[in-house]
Chain A
């Protein structure tokens, strides 16, 4: 099957405005094929901040991502959806090189953030990860106090001034809608918080170091509906200032929080476009089948 040839032509970039239209030829075909160019839509659509090009990813022999190409727009929320095991987490983690830690993992292709290939040899991974924050499925508070959890990243950067720390900690906790609940107990162990609070703490911690991009891997999957709603609201607000990429199994959640949606299936990017379009008029029958609950 020559699925790639079909899918490559899909919305690599939502809305089709690209700073550099790619004219490279791939198997005799232009890499990015423009289907449509509605002017009013492209004006609303921002410049992609993360460009993924022809990405292959292997865990040892097993191929987890196959020829994935997409451009994730700045200051928007993009949802990655697809059945379990299709490579959503793998793709998300390539954006901050978290897969570097996995033995035997191998990557081909490029991931470009703000014009720089992050897989270049001279990339400072620590710096990259400060700019690209990540929130995990299971909340991962450090065994420290609430305050120290948020301040940790700042101290790493070298900020020692108590007043500055206080201010940034408060701002981040407010951003993560946690401040009111914890302001009197900042010295308490973060492990004593509830699951939902811990997750918001992790978001505050990620925000404290001033990232531009926030990656979230099923951030609500361990939370009750109430906590989920709060985090969704939070994501909705965050995308004014941050580029948010969120993996979710919850279709309603994808609709609620995201502007763009990428559907992955068996390691391939099947479809990418505005959330509204994907959910109302999916182009690929596999997307449709997934959204209507036929598999996954």
Chain B
């Protein structure tokens, strides 16, 4: 017993010796010196890298602003003069006649967006909440993968899809098919953002809800979703802004219309379509109207973005500890 103990002590002191051996080779002053020399040697290089990073990155940021302002400036110069009362209130004039407006296209775009929201939001929201709250890991993974693939599908494919299932059987282009095509495009985006934001709600908050005897669905409805509402709404707004300017999926669904649409099952005008057909026309006046249409479209997107940042702000206020 005694012998074993002293053996252990030996082992211990041996270890200590090795350790002191190391620390004498690298005394504190020596380490400091070494680090300082290295630090001074690399100073110039570090400064250059730092400067490159700062200027390079800010250049990129400026480029972004430049692009945006350039586009808006162009649109204003070219299209602002056509933005008059007639543009918002009148139907397009027949070819050759000057004046007229795109009232039908503005209304058409709004109708298409409403249909898209009615289709995309409930499904995307439901799927997102389901994925975050109920789905088994495997299934959620599969759905997530599917939504990612869907996000990457060219938008015209959604148009073709809507055309096959809604235009061909009904033998007519329609507002409904166009809105549904846009709505389907919104689904994967909304699903992903909703899932992400709902998942971010802290587990203890859910547990607190359940702990006072709340059924799970009510915890989701009353606590989880309201807690992440800002993020969810932002996701919806962003996806809405994205599909608002889509042209391709509307080409053979909504089709476009020079007059007021007669019903949801008839062809309907839409700003992107109008812009497209005016832009490729040979008439100066229509070119100007195309610019004005683009301006209005950007304005719509801008308003949608404003709304979304309002909701983000509201969310932040709700979660900040100060009123």
- Which A residues are within 8 Å of any B CB, using their own CB? 96, 98, 101, 103, 126-131, 133-134, 136, 138, 140, 142-144, 152-153, 156-157, 188-189, 191-192, 202, 205-206, 208-209
Contacts and interface: CB of A to CB of B under 8 A. Distances in A.
B169 interface: no
A101 B204 CA distance: 11
A209 B212 contact: yes
Contacts of A189: 318, 323
Nearest to B202: A140
B204 A138 contact: yes
Contact of B212 (A130, A138, A143, A191): A130
B213 A192 contact: no
Nearest to A98: B207
Contact of A133 (B203, B209, B211, B321): B211
B210 A101 contact: yes
B86 interface: no
The majority secondary structure among interface residues of chain B is: helix
Contacts of B323: 188-189, 192
Contacts of A130: 212-213
B212 A133 contact: yes
B218 interface: yes
Q: Which 4 A-B pairs have the closest CB atoms?
A: A130-B213, A140-B208, A134-B211, A153-B212
Contacts, number: 77
Contacts of B205: 140, 142
Contacts of A134: 207-208, 211
Given A138-B204, A142-B205, A143-B226, A129 B319 contact: no
A152 B212 contact: yes
A188 B203 CA distance: 24
Contacts of B218: 156
A152 B222 CA distance: 9
A126 B213 CA distance: 5
A192 B322 contact: yes
Contacts of A143: 223, 226-227, 318-319
A48 to B, nearest CB: 22
A219 B218 CA distance: 25
Contact of B213 (A103, A136, A140, A153): A153
27 contacts: A126-B214, A126-B215, A128-B213, A129-B210, A130-B213, A131-B213, A133-B212, A134-B208, A134-B211, A136-B204, A136-B207, A138-B204, A140-B202, A140-B208, A142-B222, A143-B319, A152-B212, A152-B222, A156-B212, A156-B213, A156-B214, A156-B215, A157-B213, A191-B318, A191-B319, A191-B321, A209-B213
B320 interface: yes
Contacts of B203: 101
Contacts of A128: 213
Nearest to A103: B137
Contacts of B137: 103
A166 to B, nearest CB: 19
Given A153-B212, A206-B211, 11 more contacts: A126-B215, A134-B208, A142-B209, A142-B222, A143-B319, A152-B212, A189-B318, A191-B319, A202-B208, A205-B212, A208-B212
Contacts of A191: 318-321
A89 to B, nearest CB: 11
Nearest to A157: B213
A209 B210 CA distance: 12
Contacts of A138: 204
B239 to A, nearest CB: 24
B315 to A, nearest CB: 9
A193 to B, nearest CB: 8
B136 to A, nearest CB: 9
Contacts of A98: 207, 210-211
A131 B223 CA distance: 21
